Chains A and B, each alone.
Chain A
Amino acid sequence: MSIEFDNNLPIYLQIMNYIKRQIVSGILAPGDKILSVRELAAELQINPNTIQRTFQELEREEIVETRRGLGRFVTSEESKIMEIKKEMAGELLEKFVQGMKELGFAERDIVSIVSEAVEQEGEAHERSK
């Protein structure tokens, strides 16, 4: 997974999201070791103190833990990973609902449109098997 940075937004937030996406999509598994500050700084071409701050924030959110002398690891707590998923889903939904309202759909219409879309997607998936 690569990342395109937007220089108008704080970079550390973008890297936090990048790592969270890697965790929920399984690229980083629970308990996996993550790159060091220097390694990630070089790979993403980002200031090392910015990476350091990213890791500190992820530690504060208990998504990443440091084991003394061993390095940093993705949390092994599935509940934490579920929490990230919910958080990211919430953000997606919020944007979606807002977009639909701007298009003029009422709330109950949005619900039926979504369930229809999910059904169609499911059928298409069945057929392609």
Chain B
Amino acid sequence: MNAVNNGTRKAEPAAYTAKASLTQPVLSVSNLTKTYGRKTALNNVTFDIEPGRIVGLLGTNGSGKSTLMRIAAGLAQPSSGQVTVAGEPVGVRSKGLVSFMPDAPVTEDWMRIKDAMGFYRDFYADFDSAKASEMLQFMKLNPDDRVTSLSKGMKERLQLTLAFSRRSKLYLLDEPIGGVDPVARGKILDAILEFYDEDSSVVITTHLVRDIERIFDQVAFIRNGELVLMDEVETLRTRTGKSVDELFREVFAE
């Protein structure tokens, strides 16, 4: 294990029970509806995410999960309802609190990895250089490599490194393990567990539930723009005797 010892980041999560209610949600969504013309992408969705949580936002293609991510990231506006990040309504000011890892590259073809890091450092005031270089090492990324020369797995590693190198309240990772080999997948999961911070929360969209379900605190199932289920994963396992993957297949069976 690549142990990086940093007193503050290594602090253990607050007591398992003494959570919620006292703290302000990192992400609060209430009665959110989003329509595009006549099409309803999200229909009256309500939920909160507390600090220190890793939440899986699960749904098939076109379920509305990406729309929800874009709204939380401040890249799209709700048609109705409220969405706040650490109490701040989504918009220009909330963008500073959210680090979004889109499923498409954020880098330009001419860049080397160090240029991409430089771009983030210049662009974001909350960029943490020490964390970024630790993470580059952990991910075995060479700063001098061109981004165009990277494999799919290495590109995903870079994307995650960029997203996590900011000190944000909310990290939104859109399909971070989509289309990468099992080795890169394992490394990405390791990095999330190693570098996430207990005062913030991480929301991860995926349809590869089996590979990732053990790192979630909670999962939310989005189907046809509606939130059909949200619960603690351990509670779900206890109550149903099923894995999240199995439940996912049941809920989304056609």
Contact = CB atoms under 8 A, between A and B. Distances in A.
Contacts of B189: 45
A2 interface: no
Interface of B: 1, 3, 10, 12-13, 15-16, 52-54, 186, 189-190, 193-194, 198, 210, 213-217, 233-234, 237-238, 241-246
B241 A8 contact: yes
Contact of A7 (B1, B53, B245): B245
Contacts of B242: 8
B131 to A, nearest CB: 15
A11 B234 CA distance: 7
Nearest to A8: B243
B12 A38 contact: yes
Given A8-B243, A36-B10, A45 B238 contact: no
B16 A52 contact: yes
Given A7-B244, A11-B237, A45 B214 contact: yes
Interface in A1-47: 5, 7-12, 36-39, 41-43, 45-47
Contacts, number: 76
18 contacts: A7-B210, A7-B237, A7-B244, A7-B246, A8-B237, A38-B10, A42-B3, A42-B194, A45-B189, A46-B214, A47-B54, A47-B193, A47-B217, A47-B233, A48-B12, A52-B13, A52-B15, A56-B15
A37, A43, A45 pick with most chain B CB within 10 angstroms: A45
Nearest to B239: A10
A39 B1 CA distance: 8
A45 B185 CA distance: 11
Contacts of A37: 12-13
A12 B232 CA distance: 13
Given A7-B213, A7-B214, A37-B12, A42 B193 contact: yes
A52 B213 CA distance: 17
A98 interface: no
Contacts of B10: 36, 38
Given A7-B214, A42-B194, A50 B1 contact: no
A43 B2 CA distance: 10
B179 to A, nearest CB: 20
A85 interface: no
A11 B241 CA distance: 12
B1 A11 contact: no
B16 A56 contact: yes
Contacts of B194: 38, 42
Nearest to B194: A42
Given A7-B214, A36-B10, A37-B13, A45 B186 contact: yes
B237 A10 contact: yes
A48 B237 contact: no
B217 A9 contact: no
Contacts of A8: 237, 241-243, 246
Contacts of A120: none
Contact of B12 (A7, A43, A47, A52): A52
Given A49-B13, A49-B52, A11 B193 contact: no
B106 to A, nearest CB: 26
B193 A45 contact: yes
Contacts of B190: 42, 45
B125 to A, nearest CB: 27
Contacts of A12: 234
A53 B193 contact: no
A21 B10 CA distance: 27
